[in-house]
Each structure stands twice: as C-alpha cells, then as structure tokens.
Structure 1
Amino acid sequence: MWRLLIIALFVPMVSWAKSTEMSWLDNRFRVDPTIKQVSFLVYREKASQAVTLVRPDGTKYYAWEHPKNVAWYEENGMDIISIENPMPGPWQAIGKITPENKVKILSNLTLSVDTLPKKLYQSETLKFTARLEQDGKPLVLRDFLNRIKLNVTFTPYLANEKELVKEARPLPEVLGTFEDDGEGLDEVAGDGVFTVNLPVNIKPGKYWVRIQSRNGVFLRTVEQDVLVYPAPIRASFTQARNENRKHTMTIDTEAGAIKAGSLAAHIEQVDPKERVTITQAQSEKDETKLYFDLPNSYLPGKNSWFGWVYATDMATDRPLQFNLGTHNYGVTEPIDLKAAHEARLKAAAEKKKLEEQQRIIEERAEARKWFWIYVVAGNLLIIVLIFAGILAWKKIKVTKAVKDAAPKAEKLSMPPPPKV
C-alpha cells in the first residue's frame, strides 16, 4: 500500500516534455508549467462519444464547447485535443477510455517550414516542406501525423488590413496541401516531414503566405511575405498546316531573368486515340531561347499537349520549374477539292430544286386562297342581290296594293260656253 501511495504521489510530478502514455486510475495526468503547447491523444472505445476534458481548476472542455486556444478533432474511437498555453497542474479525461487505449500526451511541439524565396514567379511550381517536431526531434507518431492537414494559403498583402472591416479584407487562396504519405514529392511516409508541390497560380503582387492546420488538429501557424513576379518564360505552340510538316514549340525568356543554357522542356502530346507522345529538348550552352519540333500524328479530332519547363534564375541561381498547362488543338479530315466542288454543286442544285418546289407550293396555296375568296364574295353578292330583289319586289307589291285600295276621284268637266 505504501509503495502504491508513493507512486500515486510521485508520478504526477514528472515533467511531460516527451510523448507519454498514461494508464493511471481515472485517466489523470499532469502538465508541467514549462509547457507552452500540448496535444492529448485520447483513445476510447469505438462508437463512444467524445471525452470531457477537465482542467486543474475544474473547468470542463467539450468537443462542441471550448475556448479559442483549444482545437478539438473528433473521430470514431479517438479525440485529438491541442491546447496553447495550457494551465499547469493535473488534468483529467472523462469518457470510455480503457487501459488498453490510454491517453497519450505530446508537448513542446513545433512546426518548422522551409523559407520561401522572397521572389517567386507566376506559374512556377516548387517543392516545399514543413516539419513537425517534438523537443527538436521529428515527430513520428502515425496516429497523429495521419490526421494532420496543413494548407498553404496566399493572401494579397495590404498594409492596413487589420484596420479594415472583415468584409473588406482580402480573401486567402489555398494553393497547396502538405502530405506525409510518401507519395508525389514526399520522400518517406510518416517521418514527420510534410511535402507539397506548390503551384504559384496567382496574379503577380505581394502576398502573405500562411501555413496552418486545415482541420484544427494543430494550432500553430507560420507566416511569411513574398513577392510574385510575372513569369519570365513564354511558350508558343505552332500547329502544322498539313501532315507533311511537324508542329513547333518555342520557349522564349525575359532578358536577364534566366541563366543561359539552363532551359529544358518536357512536352507530352495526346492524340484522339489517347496515345501519348513525349518530347524533350534542351537549350544550347549560351542560349536563352529554345526551339524544337513536335511530332505530328495528323489524326483527325481533338488533340492536346501539356508539359513543363526547367530553368535557373539568373540572379539567385535558384532552379525553377514552370507548368505550361494543358492546351487543345483540332485536326480536320483531309479535303478532296473535286469531290467537295461536286458536293457543293449538288447541294446548290438540291437547294434550288427545293426552293422551286416551295415556290410552286406557295403559289398554289395563294391561288387556292383567292379562289375561295372569290367564291365566298360571289356567294355573298348573290345572297345580297336576292335579298335586295325580294325587298324591292315586296315594296312594289305593297305600293301597288295601296294604290289599288285608294277611291277613284270623279272626273270634272268644264261647262260649255254660253250662247249669245
């Protein structure tokens, strides 16, 4: 009993500067006063709800309710809780935590990132890395690393940004996401080194670059200001006019920007049958331009090409890589001029025939229309005349009847002249 009591009193006093696994009674653990940042990995039973984290002063933190200095990532069977400037003293995790799952503490975590060049070029891509360390050593805890998502955001720089209202501040643009999965440019999975193939696909200008956690597992943010300049290279593709010629590609550079002899290009063409043709070329020792031919499959349909250009910056001797994007071009079927002329004449004759047929149909329709107009007008006129005749006849008959019914007047005669 005394041995157990001594252990219970002494163990909580140990500084947790390193990753520590806990399996004590009631899931209690102690945070040392020197720790500025701590992350708790709480392994709990599957399908159980998130734990409740109790601070030394009794304040409770929940997955859905906690202060701004706390980041909480929750998934089935695990909670990851990161706290900036945690209160020193004994903490407790309350939940369905079994001795096999335990509570793991990560403290003194730091995020270090490569320093971006002060001068970046529009459309270039570069390998960019960030490292998560504990006490100056790479953190290799896979359960933690697999859930870290780091974004690279570019925000247009404004000197008075903090004085502006939130709605007027420039919006950050995510240009890349770090991965520690051993794929792409990442060299080793789970080694604590996060890598991103960063495409600088933004307008020239001054920017704030921020590297921060995307899902809130880790609270640290690293900032840096950079200048983005217009791309110092120009790629021009010229399509062949016929099957006997080749396509051409010209890579030109801005004077004084690119080191002579450093240009190299990789171009991939995709024809309508999804076949890929790769062409590579390199400039001469003293040349700052690159001109080369590309094969011409001359397959009718949609063709495309994409690629990238390697170069070296003249001022800083920094290796550069520029993505040329994807471009489409079409190839049409070869044209038989004689057949095309005959087809055009045939189409014209057919069109003329159809027009004549249409004219005849319209004339017949017009004639039928006027025929019926005349028929209707004639019938109406006949009907009007019939009615007019009937009315006139009735009127004459009435007049005659009135005349016949009137009394006849006596005929008066003059007396004979008197005799003398």
Structure 2
Amino acid sequence: MPISRNTLLTVYLLTTTSLLSVTAVFAIGSDTAQTSAQPPKAAPIVAPIVAPIVAPIVAVDTASELKNRFRIDHMVDNMTLFVERDYDSGPVIVVLPDGSKMYSDRHPKTVKWAAGITGDIIYIESPMPGPWQLIGKVVPTSTIKKVSKLEIEVQPLPQPLFQGEQIKLVAQLMGDAQRMRLPGLDYLVEWNAHFVSRHKAGDENFAAGDIIVGSYKDNGEDYDERPDDGIFTSNIDIRQPWGDYRFVVQARNNVFDRQVSSLFRLSPRPINVEVITPEDSSMAEWKVMLHVDNSALQLAETHFSFELTGPAGMQVPLIVDGLTQADSELVLPTLIEFGRYKLKGTVATTTVAGREVILDLPEQFFSLTPPPPPLPTAKELAAVAAIAAQKAADEEALAKKDAIFWIVTINVILLILGVLGLVVWRKRQSLAQALAAAELRVQQQKPVKQAPAPSLDDIDLTLPDETDNNN
C-alpha cells in the first residue's frame, strides 16, 4: 500500500520534534545576575537530595556517527551547544547551513561562547534552520548536546543549622529537566555560595553584609564523591556569625548565569568548651569544662574527639562519650613540658529531631609556666647585702683611683703643653729680633750718595765771598 504525502510529512515532523526534545540544550536568560551585594529574587529550590542522583544522561546525536553534524529545526528559538573536545585542544569551529563560520573569538553578538580545556559551551540566539557542522578535535565517542532550557537545582540548607557544622550539599545543572554531565564541566561553570545577612537587630551577623562562604565542585575531592558525574558538591564554611541569612547560590560563565536563593537561620553552636585555668598556672593538672545544650542535642549520642598538642611534638588524642549530664568535666593528661598547648576538637552528635551532625569546636590555647623561684632567707639576704656592699666599696675605690689617675694625667699634659708653648713663643721672639738686626746691618752697609756739584745758576752771587768774610 503506497504511503501518502501527508503521512510522510507527519512522520518527518514527529521525528524532528522527538530529536529536539531529547537533546540537552541550555536556555540563556536575557536578565543578568544580580550582584552579590544585592541578592537575587527568590527562586524555588528543589527538595533535598537524599540519595545519589541517577537521572539518565540526555540522549543526543553521537558525534562519531554523524561526523560532528546535526540539524536545527525552524521551530528552535535559541539553543546551547555542549561540545566535548580532546584535552587542551583548541575551540571548535561552527559551520552554519549557509557555509559561514563562527569562532570562539569571532562571532555575532547574538552568540555567547565559553571555551575550556576539555570542551565548549556555545549559546546561539535564533539559530539558522538546517544542517550544522563542528570542526575540531571532538571526542569521537562524545555526543552533541543541544538544549533549550537551563536551570540549576540546589539542595537547601537544613534547619536548624549550627555554627561550625561540617555539611555536605549538592547541586546540579539541569538541561530540559535532565542532569547535565560533561567531562571538564567543573572548569566551564563557576559556582559561588553567599550568606547575605538580613540585618536583624540583636543577631550576631547584624553588620555582616554579604559573605562568600564557598563554592561547588565536581572534581572528586573533599566531599565530592566522583569527578565529572554532574553532581556538584559544596565546601561551604559554616563558621560565620549566627543570625538570619539569605542563602544565594550562583552558577555562571560567559554563556549563562543562574541563581537561586532561600532564607535560613544560622543558630549558635549548641556546645561550649572552656579550659579551666588553675589558680597556680604551673600546676600540671588542667581541666576542660564541656557544656552541651540538651534541648538541641541528644546527650547519649554526643561524642567528643579532641587532640591535645604541645611542646616537643606532643600529640595526645582524647575521646569523651557516654554523657549523662549537660555539664561535664574533662581532666587533661599530666603535663610535664613547660610551654604553650592547643586543644582542637570535633563533636559527632544527633539533634533532638534526629539529624546527624558533625561540629567543629573552637580551638583552645593555654600555657604551662614554670613555678616562681622561692623567696630568699634572712641569711641569704644578709650575704647578698654584704656582697653588694663590698662590690659598692670596690667600685668606689676604683672610681677614686681612676679620678686621681685622670687628674694627674690631665695636669701633666697641660704642663707639657704650657712648656712647649713657651718654648715656641721664645723661639719666635728670638727669630723676630734676629731678623730686625740683620735688616739694620744691611741698611748701614749701603754707600752714601754724593751730592751733585752746584751749577752757576745755583750759586747766589749776592752772598759775600768766604775770604772776604774772613777778613
């Protein structure tokens, strides 16, 4: 029986629609994320994840079978491609149906591109219908994931939540309601967790503001069970001031930005540890007072684990369990070495509601100092006074001797200087007199100059002759 044209068209449309519905594509919201100082609008958070997530990976086109080719239908408004490449290879090149190409550093404004060491995340607005192709070192066994809706699911914080809790929280990236899994996705998506204070009067966190408390990783380290399984595990630091907060989780990269938030209260630590200092700090016996809030915790299931460290590499483990009273006293081992000690501990306990928790306790420091020396006796004091008096007398005699020595020395020096000065002065006077006498002799030995004979003009004829005068 021949198949009609309408039947073929219907089968084609159903096949195309099914292919698009099972591909993993991420929708990119047009609104950007709010800053950490201004928490985002509240978004619903999924229920707590109790068992490991085993959601199937999205079934999509296999790259090796289609030679990195895929088709986009005309009904697709936007899409995000998740491409897995060989480690540390260059970003892929996207070839459009009309033959034009897009690169990681050169593409239209409607395209957003995040390139990592193991893959690419590419968001395309209003993609051109038709066959597309990827050029690059795409892993042959990988799949080309095309997704139309993206969201994040975050496990909410339990209540009550206590200061210092060691807590494991998980989150996952969802594409079309399916958990996304891609090798190297941990490097392509940045997760941040914030505690934003609600500034309630009387709370310890009244002026805390926005606190970055950790992130989520899918690297198989710390609390994360397996790398690259699509389950991101937190490393949140709960040692923050107690009070009311908004819990904000953000997942972002160059392509997308998603946030969820919820309200919670961080309760004060229900266990208090205090080192009791003895009246004499040199005593070797020290005690620690343990106080447990039995209105929040079950005493029978509260177990302390301490480690006492001190001088000379001392490390002593201490275990306390089987509590029957809210206030208990722990006697520390006998301390021998003088110096500084540190007591560090954790508590494994159960809340009255039945939730198992582990708490970090604040570190405690104390010092064992040597005892003061005994007071001297009267005889010892007299001996010390005699020694001091003799020492003072010796110092006085030495001072007098030194004074006489310096007085005599200074006087002798002054006398010598005076004599030397007198001798120099006398020599200078004698030299001056000798020079004056020599100059006088030189002047006396010079010949007397003869007066010139007078001329006729100089003779006064009016004067009488000398012979006439004699007559």
Amino acid at match of 1:277: P
**TM-score of the two chains, using structure 2 as the length reference:** 0.58
The match for 2:114 among 56, 68, 72 is 72
Identical-residue share of aligned pairs (%): 18
Match of 2:289 in 1: 250
Residue 142 of structure 1 and its aligned partner are, at CA, apart by 4.3
Q: How big is the alpha-carbon RMSD for the aligned residues of Structure 1 and Structure 2?
A: 5.3
Higher RCO (CA < 8 A, seq sep 6+): 2
Residue 81 of structure 1 and its aligned partner are, at CA, apart by 0.8
Cα distance between partner residues in 2 of 1:296 and 1:84 = 70
Question: Which SS does the other structure have where 1:199 is aligned?
Answer: coil
Residue 267 of structure 1 and its aligned partner are, at CA, apart by 1.4
Cα distance between partner residues in 1 of 2:308 and 2:146 = 50
Mapping 1:15-414, distance limit 5 Å: 15=20, 16-17=23-24, 18-20=58-60, 21-23=62-64, 24=66, 27-30=69-72, 33=75, 38-44=80-86, 48-53=89-94, 60=102, 62-63=104-105, 70=112, 72-75=114-117, 78-81=118-121, 83=123, 87=127, 89=129, 92=132, 94-97=134-137, 100=140, 104-105=144-145, 107=147, 108-117=149-158, 120-144=161-185, 150-157=191-198, 172-181=210-219, 184-187=222-225, 190-213=228-251, 219-238=257-276, 246-252=285-291, 263-271=302-310, 272-284=312-324, 287-310=325-348, 319-331=356-368, 369-386=406-423
The answer (yes or no) to whether the contact 1:146–1:180 under 8 Å persists in 2 is no
Question: Which SS does the other structure have where 1:374 is aligned?
Answer: helix
Amino acid at match of 2:333: P
Flag the structure with higher strand content. 1
Q: Can you give the 5+ residue segments of structure 2 that lack an aligned partner in the other structure?
A: 1-8, 25-57, 201-207, 437-471
Question: Which SS does the other structure have where 2:236 is aligned?
Answer: strand
Match of 1:407 in 2: none
For residues 148-194 of structure 1, the C-alpha deviation after alignment (integer angstroms, 9 at most, x for no partner) is 553323344579xxxxxxxxxx9754323334455544455554333
Distance 1:158 1:275, change over 3 A: closer
The answer (yes or no) to whether the contact 1:281–1:292 under 8 Å persists in 2 is no
Count of matched residue pairs = 371
The answer (yes or no) to whether the contact 1:33–1:88 under 8 Å persists in 2 is no
Cα distance between partner residues in 2 of 1:363 and 1:92 = 109
- Which stretch of structure 1 is more off in the superposition, 381-390 or 115-124? 381-390
Cα distance between partner residues in 2 of 1:65 and 1:360 = 99
The answer (yes or no) to whether the contact 2:345–2:361 under 8 Å persists in 1 is yes
Residue 250 of structure 1 and its aligned partner are, at CA, apart by 1.7
Residue 90 of structure 1 and its aligned partner are, at CA, apart by 5.1
For residues 358-389 of structure 1, the C-alpha deviation after alignment (integer angstroms, 9 at most, x for no partner) is 98887777666544432332223334445677
- Which stretch of structure 1 is more off in the superposition, 234-243 or 275-284? 234-243
Distance 1:367 1:325, change over 3 A: farther
Whose Rg is larger? 2
Question: Which SS does the other structure have where 1:126 is aligned?
Answer: coil
Question: Which SS does the other structure have where 1:378 is aligned?
Answer: helix
Residue 306 of structure 1 and its aligned partner are, at CA, apart by 0.8
Residue 251 of structure 1 and its aligned partner are, at CA, apart by 2.6
Amino acid at match of 1:80: D
Residue 307 of structure 1 and its aligned partner are, at CA, apart by 1.0
Distance 1:330 1:111, change over 3 A: same
**TM-score of the two chains, using structure 1 as the length reference:** 0.64
Cα distance between partner residues in 1 of 2:389 and 2:256 = 77
Cα distance between partner residues in 2 of 1:40 and 1:234 = 50
Distance 1:324 1:54, change over 3 A: farther
